[in-house]
Amino acid sequence: MGGIFGIGTSGLLTAQRQLATASHNISNVNTEGFSRQRAEQAARRPQFSGSGYIGTGVDVQNTVRLANEFLEEQIRGANSQFGQFDAFHKLSTQIDNILANPDSGLTPTLESFFSALQEANDNPSSTPSRQVLLTEANTMSDRFKLLDDRFSELNGQVNQSLDDITQAISDSAKSIAKMNVDIVQKIGAGQGKMPNDLLDQREVLIKKISEKIDVSVVYQDDGAANLFIGSGQALVIGGVSATLSTQSNRFNAEDQDIIMTQGTGSIDVSNSITGGELQGVLDFKQNVLEQSRRGLGRVAMALTEELNAQHRLGMTIQGTGAPFPLGQDFFVDQGGPIAGLPGQTSATSASLTITDSRLLTTSDYQLDYDGTNYTLTRLNDGTVFSNASMAGLSSAVSASEGFSMTSNIAAGESFLMRPTYSAASGIDVSVNNVLDIALAGPIVSGAQTNADGSAVNSGTGKISLPEIKSLNNIPLNASGPLNLTFSDNLFGPAPAGGGFVVSNSGGTLANISYDPSVDFGGKTFVFDGSLAAALDFGDMSFTISGQPLDGDTFVIEDNAAPYDDNRNGLSMSKLQTTKTIENSSTDFQAAYGIIVSDVGTKTHSAEVDLKAQLTLSEQAKAERASYSGVNLDEEAADLLKFQQAYQASARVISIADEMFQTLINSVG
């Protein structure tokens, strides 16, 4: 009877264990990360008798966790990609909305400024038109600063996100390390049997980390899970976890580096981060936020430099009469020196000065000195400029990058050079009086007249109003007007030998040829010193046409009546469509449009990637659920099956008891 009792009891206990396992599955149907379990049974060792081996019942060999590491790894990878695209998309959408918004973007204010400039040109003596121009200039500068402020706020948001993400990763890593210790202990105490629920809980934590950063998992023979990030840095080894944190960048406190601390040692892992929200945030900062900020700064820098340069070539209507002052900077000059940011505590310094805003890129640069060579690295593409002397390096950089440098940098030191980064925050209108707006040209020209204004010249020659490109020997008041007197045989017999004698109060400066029979349609002269060393006056250019007669004279002189003159204002207006950015390949509005387009393209690309990755993530989770998830219908069927087995085993015990009682009664 004992054998039947034992067999029945083993079946009863096995069915009970299976019922408990199925109940456990049902209870955890909604538990995050739970993997269904199965109690695996096997026949006990048979017992030998004279008639052969007789079965002795059944035992539960193990409670198996139905998990597939390949499926779990798929989900971790999908989580990492989704977290990266989601973080990037959320942040880049904010910049896209700011830059492309017709109310908050820069394009409307640029157009309004140049429209106001054109209106002032239409009526250059009008005080209200000039006042509107100043108002629009201030509005435009405020818009530059507003956009830069929003970039600065987003940079603060990025830094806070980096703090939060690294803290979350560190907390999860610490919890996983503790669970590793617990799991290893329980596996040892259970003689190799797995604590399935703890394994599920650990996997949930690993997946949470994978949302923040791409992680590789390597399992030890003792059951511990080791986690690695980046280029192989150990985040968790057994019961020991590393800590991720942020630290101010050595060049700029506004930037945060990602630091991994293991024991007493720390390393910067910013450049080796892959996947997850962390990479999404870092990618946004580097490829969208900072690039847009530097791009906006380049537009502000170019606008400032170009308009200032042209405004300085004009004449104001300030004062009561001639000589009227020339224009000054229209905007506050930002050309430099711009201080570099030191990479270490040092008494040395480095600075840059803008030499040609048309050559500026949107990159930052790193200046290094090893004691022998000075090296400047363009950080957006790694281009290197090197020279044994600071002056030599500065000259080469000025010719290609648009800025020069000075420094007393010591060996082993580094500086971060940022030509355009903060230009948008520093733009301000320098002119505060409408009379100081230099719309007029400082030099005028015309035919010589008598004191009463009557004509002196008898020919049909005409001279255009001159345009200047520099302030060399401008104004002319120091040496008096330039007189151009025609002689029909200055260079030989008429008619081919004609030309002009150019003179001023100091006497004859040079002779220039003009053949009326050939040059009747117009001949342009440039007084930049190329015709004669003495003819160097503001690189001015003008055109003479027609048939001057012997003795006819043209006069080039300072402008004594600039009130209705708009020549310099028109030159300033032309800058709206002049290609003055990106090595003279694009204009102000197009350059801003490039920023908007680049951000929009990256935002749209991130949106497409995000949607695609969401589908992949859902597929990976569905595959995992089909294998490891709890199916209530299946578990209900198992409950009935195990219940019947339990009842049948109970019946075996009952029959064995009846047999035993019958035997006792018959003996008794």
Residue 658 bridge partners (DSSP) = none
Write down the mean pLDDT value for the chain. 89
pLDDT of residue 374: 92
For 319-371, how does the pLDDT look when each residue is reduced to its tens digit (9 = 90+)? 877 788 999 999 999 888 999 889 877 778 899 999 999 999 999 999 999 98
pLDDT of residue 436: 92
Which one-letter amino acid corresponds to residue 659?
M
User: Which of the four pLDDT bands, split at 50, 70 and 90, describes residue 662?
Assistant: confident
The sign of the torsion formed by the CA atoms of 642, 648, 654, 659 equals negative
Report in angstroms the alpha-carbon separations of 98 from 86, 94, 102, 192, 292.
19, 6, 9, 59, 11
Q: What is the DSSP letter of 241?
A: E
pLDDT in tens, 152-165: 999 999 999 999 99
Report residue 617's pLDDT band, with 50, 70 and 90 as the boundaries.
Answer: confident
User: Which CB contacts under 8 angstroms, 24+ apart, belong to 641-647?
Assistant: 642/15, 642/18, 642/19, 642/22, 643/15, 643/19, 645/11, 645/14, 645/15, 645/18, 646/12, 646/15, 646/16, 646/19
Q: Which of 4-18, 63-77, 166-180 has the highest mean pLDDT?
A: 166-180
The neighbouring-strand residues paired with 367 are: 376, 415
pLDDT at residue 1 tops 60: no
Q: Is residue 505 scored above 60 in pLDDT?
A: yes
pLDDT greater than 90 at residue 430 = yes
CA dist., res. 595 & res. 293, Å (int): 9
Q: Are 545 and 462 in contact (CB under 8 A)?
A: yes
Handedness of CA 287, 288, 293, 297 (dihedral sign): positive
Is 305's pLDDT higher than 90?
yes
Whether residue 2 has pLDDT greater than 70: no
Dist. CA 124–CA 107, nearest whole Å: 25
Cβ 557 vs Cβ 444: under 8 Å: yes
What is residue 528's predicted lDDT score, i.e. its pLDDT?
Answer: 92
From first CA to last CA, the distance across the chain in angstroms is 17
pLDDT value of position 494: 67
**DSSP of 192-230, one letter per residue?**
T---HHHHHHHHHHHHHHHHHS-EEEEE-TTS-EEEEET
Give the mean model confidence (pLDDT) for residues 51-63. Answer: 83
The DSSP-derived string for 435-456 is GG---B-SEEEEE-B-TTS-B-
Q: What is the pLDDT of residue 495?
A: 67
Task: Please tell me the distance from the alpha carbon of residue 657 to that of residue 91, in angstroms, as a whole number.
Answer: 75
Residue with tokens 């160097």: 536
| Domain ranges across the chain | 2-66+629-667, 86-133+145-285, 443-558
- Mean pLDDT to the nearest integer, 568-591: 90
Strands 443-447 and 553-558, by their bridges, are antiparallel
pLDDT at residue 199 in the model: 87
Cα distances from 222 to residues 125, 203, 225, 226, 491, in angstroms, run: 89, 16, 9, 11, 105
The pLDDT value recorded for residue 173 is 92
CA distance 334 to 144: 14
DSSP H or E run through 463: strand 462-463
Lowest mean pLDDT among 42-56, 144-158, 306-320: 42-56
Q: What is the pLDDT of residue 109?
A: 93
Look at residue 11 and tell me whether its pLDDT is greater than 90.
Answer: no
Are 352 and 402 spatial neighbours (Cβ–Cβ below 8 Å)? no
* Measured distance CA(562)–CA(532) in Å, rounded: 29
Is residue 326 within 8 Å of residue 315, measured between CB atoms? Answer: yes
Whether residue 305 contacts residue 575, with contact meaning beta carbons closer than 8 Å, is answered with no
**The pTM is what?**
0.85
Task: Output 635 or 258, whichever has higher pLDDT.
Answer: 258
Sign of the Cα pseudo-torsion (97, 102, 107, 108, in order): negative
> Angle formed by the axes of helices 588-628 and 107-122, to 10°?
170
3-state SS, one letter per residue, for 115-156 = HHHHHHHHCCCCHHHHHHHHHHHHHHHHHHHHHHHHHHHHHH
Range with the poorest average pLDDT among 99-103, 114-118, 136-140, 314-318: 99-103
d(CA 561, CA 548): 26
| pLDDT value at 503 more than 60 | yes
Mean pLDDT of the 643-647 span: 83
Average pLDDT over residues 15-35: 86
Quick: pLDDT tens for 164-213.
Answer: 999 999 999 999 999 999 999 988 888 888 898 888 899 899 999 999 99
CA pair distance 505, 482, nearest whole angstrom: 8
In the predicted structure, residue 479 carries a pLDDT above the cut 70: yes
Q: Which tens digit of pLDDT belongs to each residue from 603-616?
A: 999 889 889 988 88
pLDDT surpasses 60 at 73:
yes
